[in-house]
Amino acid sequence: MKKFTALLAISLFTLSLQSTAQKLDLNAFFKKGLTCDRLPHLMQFMASKHYSIRKIDNTLRERTIKEYINFLDGSKTLLLLSDVKKVKNIMRKMFKTMKNSDCAALDQVKQIALDRSKENENFMRSFMGKDYKFDESIKLVTDPEKRQYAKNSAEKNELLKKFAHFQISNYLLNETPLEEAKGLLVHRYELVTKRIAEKDDQNQFSELLKAFATAFDPHTSYFSMEDFEDFQINMKLSLEGIGASLSSQDGFTVVEEVITGGAADRAGVLERKDKIISVSQVGKKNEKAVSVVDMDLKDVVRLIRGKKGSKVKLTILRKSGSETKRMEVVIVRDKIDLTDSAAKLKMEKRVVDGKTYNLAVIDLPSFYGALEKGKRSSYDDMKDLLAKANKSKADGLLLNLRQNGGGLLEGARSISGLFINKGPIVATKDTEGNVRQLIDEDESISFSKPMVILISRASASAAEILPGALLDYDRAVLVGADRTFGKGSVQQVEPFANDMGAVKITTALYFLPKGESTQHQGVRSHINLPSVLQSEKIGENTLDYSLPPQKIKSFAGKEYNLNKGKQSYIPITDDIVKKLAANSKKRVESDKKFDEIRKEIIESKKNDGMVVLSDFRKKAAEDKKDEDKTLAERKKDMNEPYINEGLNVLVDLVDEVQKKEKVVAGQTR
């Protein structure tokens, strides 16, 4: 249906264009990909769908120009202040010429960036000469927002020097000899120039649409065809390829992780830190290896991905002791289920004062799913895991949403319904002011035992609906950061025809059962634990162009907590929370791991964005011992103190609920 809507939208663009004096070349219009004459109509379509900004005015245009410049030079190490002013003037004129299919201004902007990049490259080549001396005393303001654009080349070069010392430091920490490190750093700047020079019209039009979309609010986005493919993969947790996570380092494509159970893992031919230098398609006519050294990562990924059953040959470099071996490996592509991003259950036993507690821990990284029926979804996975928890006779549940950035609104609604009897979970309000409730109609409860939810400032969007709804229904105790991220907006994805990508547009705000929006304020925890993420710099309210919060009339009531006149679960009360919070405070104050976290918080606040290279190197050296750990292992280390204290709180909660259950049972008799 959404695809049909998008196709209809493109047809409407066509009709509206035909009705104007300007004649339309239909063959050109239905050509694949983005063209200059399509941009104004795609932009108008975004504006027509957005929640609060319905027309393209000077404010939106100025925001777009600002975001486009950020895409060009987010670190403020490329352009001079005079360049920024020049680019703004060029792009202001372009919004007029674009209506006449003239986007030459983007080429002018590209040339400015290219010239400055060549300057940076030449300066770095000179600075990395024989007289270069590494300086640990350098201080750098890491936050670009706290820096101004350089007024002249000399001022910019001073900033580049500081960056160079930090970049060289990273190489040295990885035991790269200084002379080799200098060469690698120069090459890094050469690659920046190469990337800018290689930008074609499609890249530039795509970047302009991304800047335009971002100018509406932080969550409206334009996807190129490649970006849209990645978005769909993340939502479906499924793709066809070799099963490896890749990164780009100094022009090389490096294997970061080999996905357990994937094609590469089963073949046993790839290892972490392997460098891929060429790719060829086995079985195709005129099969030829394509060198991927210095190739953009997204283009490398496109070469490696492919249909299930097809073969790909990779030429890799593998370091073995002091030697580097060159090898060729052939992998049969297969379907990959991204299990690391799916919900997972682990049963934990705790013995306290001679009493054994059987506790379920579920990690839910996102609210994933596909539009097609029968495809994997977070709801189905959660329902299965809760059934297993019940079968294991779990006394309580710890649901971890600490790193859940959101996902499908419907996933949040349906999963919330697994823990309550029946009732509204969330309401949405569209641009016309229409309020629609999303209701859990199923009277059954998949899990009725005591429940603790772990949250953080990284818990966002749909991951705020679930704890927010269960908070309003007194169903769970929330533990973690002071509040969640504060994203209370709803996005709709609209694919475009003719390989023009897709757009994710903010179309509504959502509200919790008591009528509160999570926008900006997030969902508050019952019990606050120390966290480096608990910063006023993290949250929706800190983002440019974020929508203001709103409020509607409450649409929840205690009757939804009942099942045939009886409580479906023991509700969380203030006296329970007070006891749990007091117990937790005592434990956390004497916990060594939370001591380390508190020290890290103090350290992060100390310099307010200013980093001294000697301190940076000391911290990096301490962290180096963890570099051989897998992503899953690092994630486990980061979560461990919170999971541990969450389980402690859950044990206390189980005790308190069991006491109340005895009271209720006594009153019933």
State pLDDT tens for residues 524-551. 999 999 998 888 888 999 999 999 999 9
Q: What is the pLDDT of residues 165-194, one digit of tens each?
A: 989 988 888 788 999 999 999 999 999 999
Outline where DSSP puts E strands in 121-166.
Answer: 139-141
Joined tokens for residue 373? 């029926």
Average pLDDT in the chain? 87
Which of 39-43, 152-156, 231-235 bottoms out in mean pLDDT, i.e. has the lowest?
231-235
Which of 399-408, 411-420, 463-472, 629-638 bottoms out in mean pLDDT, i.e. has the lowest?
629-638
What is the average per-residue pLDDT within 407-433? 92
pLDDT over 90 at 660, yes or no: no
284 against 346, higher pLDDT? 346
Distance, in Å, from the CA atom of 223 to the CA atom of 500, rounded to the nearest integer, reads 9
Q: Is-contact 136 613, C-beta < 8 A? A: yes
- Collect all residues with Cβ–Cβ distance below 8 Å to 64 and sequence separation of at least 6: 91, 208, 211, 212, 215
SS3 279: strand
Distance, in Å, from the CA atom of 407 to the CA atom of 467, rounded to the nearest integer, reads 14
Q: What is the pLDDT of residues 71-109, one digit of tens each?
A: 999 999 999 999 999 999 999 999 999 989 999 999 999
Distance, in Å, from the CA atom of 386 to the CA atom of 645, rounded to the nearest integer, reads 21
Share of the chain above pLDDT 90, in %: 60
Distance, in Å, from the CA atom of 636 to the CA atom of 485, rounded to the nearest integer, reads 21
387 against 342, higher pLDDT? 387
Distance, in Å, from the CA atom of 272 to the CA atom of 258, rounded to the nearest integer, reads 7
Distance, in Å, from the CA atom of 267 to the CA atom of 271, rounded to the nearest integer, reads 11
Distance, in Å, from the CA atom of 82 to the CA atom of 412, rounded to the nearest integer, reads 48
**Domains of the chain in sequence order:** 32-216 (no CATH), 238-337 (2.30.42.10), 342-420+446-485+517-595+625-668 (3.90.226.10)
Distance, in Å, from the CA atom of 491 to the CA atom of 222, rounded to the nearest integer, reads 12
pLDDT band at 261 (very low <50, low <70, confident <90, very high): confident
pLDDT over 60 at 563, yes or no: no
Angle value at C-alpha 80, between 75 and 96, nearest 5 degrees: 95
pLDDT over 60 at 28, yes or no: no
Distance, in Å, from the CA atom of 469 to the CA atom of 476, rounded to the nearest integer, reads 9
Question: Full-prediction pTM beyond 0.75?
Answer: yes
Distance, in Å, from the CA atom of 458 to the CA atom of 235, rounded to the nearest integer, reads 18
Residue 667 pairs with which residues in a beta bridge? none
Which of 24-33, 409-418, 435-444 bottoms out in mean pLDDT, i.e. has the lowest?
24-33
CA-nearest of 382, 400, 251 to 317 is 251
Share of the chain above pLDDT 70, in %: 87
Distance, in Å, from the CA atom of 331 to the CA atom of 341, rounded to the nearest integer, reads 23
List b or e across 44-61, with b for residues whose CB sees 16 or more CB atoms inside 10 angstroms.
ebbbebbbebeebeeebb
pLDDT band at 374 (very low <50, low <70, confident <90, very high): low
| Total residue length of the chain | 669
Category of 39 on φ-ψ map: left (φ > 0), alpha (ψ -120 to 50) or beta: alpha
Q: Is-contact 461 506, C-beta < 8 A? A: no
Q: Is-contact 556 620, C-beta < 8 A? A: no
Q: Is-contact 2 177, C-beta < 8 A? A: no
Q: What is the pLDDT of residues 492-509, one digit of tens each?
A: 999 998 889 999 999 999
What are 107-115's contacts with CB under 8 Å, separation 24+? 107/204, 109/68, 109/72, 110/196, 110/199, 110/204, 112/79, 112/83, 112/86, 112/87, 113/72, 113/73, 113/78, 113/79, 113/196, 114/193, 114/196, 114/197
Q: Is-contact 308 240, C-beta < 8 A? A: yes
Burial zone of 152 (CB within 10 Å; 0-12 exposed, 13-18 middle, 19+ buried) = exposed
